[in-house]
Amino acid sequence: MKSISPLFSVSTPKSPILIFTPISQRLSSVKFAASPQRKSPSSKSAKTLCTTLTVDPITTRTSTSTSTPPKKVLVPIGFGTEEMEAVILADVLRRAGAEVTVASVEQQLEVEASGGTRLVADTFISACSTQIYDLVALPGGMPGSARLRDCEVLKKITSRQAEEKRLYGAICAAPAVTLLPWGLLKRKQSTCHPAFMDKIPSFRAVKTSTQVSGELTTSRGPGTSFEFAVCLVDQLFGESVAKEIGELLLMNPADDDPKRQEFNEVGWSLDHTPQVLIPVANGSEEIEVVTLIDILRRAKVNVVVASVEKSAQVLASSGTKIVADKLIDATADSIYDLIILPGGTAGAERLHKSKVLKKLLKEQESAGRIFGAICSSPAVLQRQGLIKDKKATAHPAVINNLKDGVNDARVVIDGKLITSQGLATATQFALAIVSKLFGHARARSVAEGLVYQYPRS
């Protein structure tokens, strides 16, 4: 039994290093839009997109062709599933080359997660009952973990997985709320969210951020989701692939890189509940979208997610389907305290082409209100003439396109502009926004709920 140390280091037993098929071939086999076996009550909003998924050249790993079949992974979701955990699991495992199926345990494909994000599953759990998976990975959240627990089909799938010595895992509340009642923690050391640790027998409970015990891997919460996902990549594909994915996700900064730099410091505090707009498009980076929504809503910010497409549902860069709150046209006459652009190469380009968003951003800058971007989207702000003499950062692949790019910080604040590198830095980015709006105490409280180590200084 080996525990995974914090700070994303993976120390599971080394497995054979595999070579993978080209990404175009891998993506063609991923079940991004499986047809449901029965009609869904929300079939209108869960309607399959005809959009072709565009592989993001910035954040996609390079692969070498081989005839090795892809690893099959099941990620089940239900009402109240923790969205960061579900999306990070699916995204990271897909980047590594796995064929990931996100399956709904509900009577419809569209599921509202614990923070209010609306996700659309690839298929129903009933369609997965006869499939053999290399890994079954359960996200947490409440009441999501209880919804998973009460699903008999999922119980049979996961129990068979354990009996046949194939990999299975759970994070946050799911080890205690889902796996424990199923009898799948027996003779296993495990961890979970601190709020549920008292449910696990004390002689088997451990407080490591990620714990591997035979075929079972458990982890603590949204703040450990990247480590959990990369640990699973290590077990499926080997240490070298896990290391490559960690670097691709920007999880391993140099020790001397500050998490945050601030220039021309001004206060952001407001006398009302902050109103935040997050525009999304086909090709937006789902990790960044969902992390921003989840963390800002935890901090009691009013977040509006607006699609720049013709439909509220968008297909994100790694295949996650997200349903926005409204179309961008419905926001044209609204005033927001903060507008934040998520990244993703194709998504950023589509955000740039939105006339309504361009108008909103121009008004935001002219009125001296707060705005920002992450990953490839700071380049959008520059193209629109909105960052001029401001300091900013972006994904390492595009930062040289910025006039005053800051290379050695994960989050950069200059007055009322905030930018970040992307992917794994999205948590720091969102918490920096919370800190500027409400102060360090609120940010630290949110980080504690995430099981994320908030800097003391």
Q: Measuring CA to CA, which residue among 399, 393, 397 is closest to residue 412?
A: 393
What residues have CB less than 8 Å from 307, skipping those under 6 apart? 279, 280, 281, 313, 314, 324, 326, 327, 328
Q: How far apart are CA 303 and CA 321, in angstroms?
A: 18
**β-strand 338-341 against 210-213: which pairing, if any?**
unpaired
Angle value at C-alpha 267, between 266 and 273, nearest 5 degrees: 145
In the 8-state DSSP scheme, what is residue 384? T
Per-residue burial over 413-422, b if 16 or more Cβ lie within 10 Å, else e, is: bbebbbbbbb
Residue appearing with tokens 């290379």: 407
Burial of 225 (0-12, 13-18, 19+ CB in 10 A): buried
What are the structure tokens assigned to 337, written together?
């305290």
Number of Cβ within 10 Å of residue 166's Cβ equals 14
**β-strand 99-104 against 72-77: which pairing, if any?**
parallel
Q: How far apart are CA 154 and CA 126, in angstroms?
A: 8
Q: Measuring CA to CA, which residue among 364, 318, 320 is closest to residue 341?
A: 364
What are the Cα distances from residue 356, in Å, to 30, 302, 362? 33, 20, 10
Task: Please pick, among 106, 110, 288, 309, the residue that the annotation labels catalytic.
Answer: 288
Q: How far apart are CA 18 and CA 34, in angstroms?
A: 27
244 is catalytic: no
Residue 238 sits at φ, ψ, to 5 deg, of 110, 165
In the 8-state DSSP scheme, what is residue 217? E
What are the structure tokens assigned to 238, written together?
């080997």
Task: Please pick, among 85, 106, 193, 395, the residue that the annotation labels catalytic.
Answer: 395
Task: Please pick, among 128, 172, 231, 375, the residue that the annotation labels catalytic.
Answer: 375
192 is catalytic: no
| Sequence-ordered alpha helix ranges (H) in 238-377 | 239-248, 286-298, 345-352, 355-366
395 is catalytic: yes
Q: Measuring CA to CA, which residue among 214, 199, 207, 94 is closest to residue 149?
A: 199
Q: Which residues are tagged catalytic?
A: 288, 375, 395
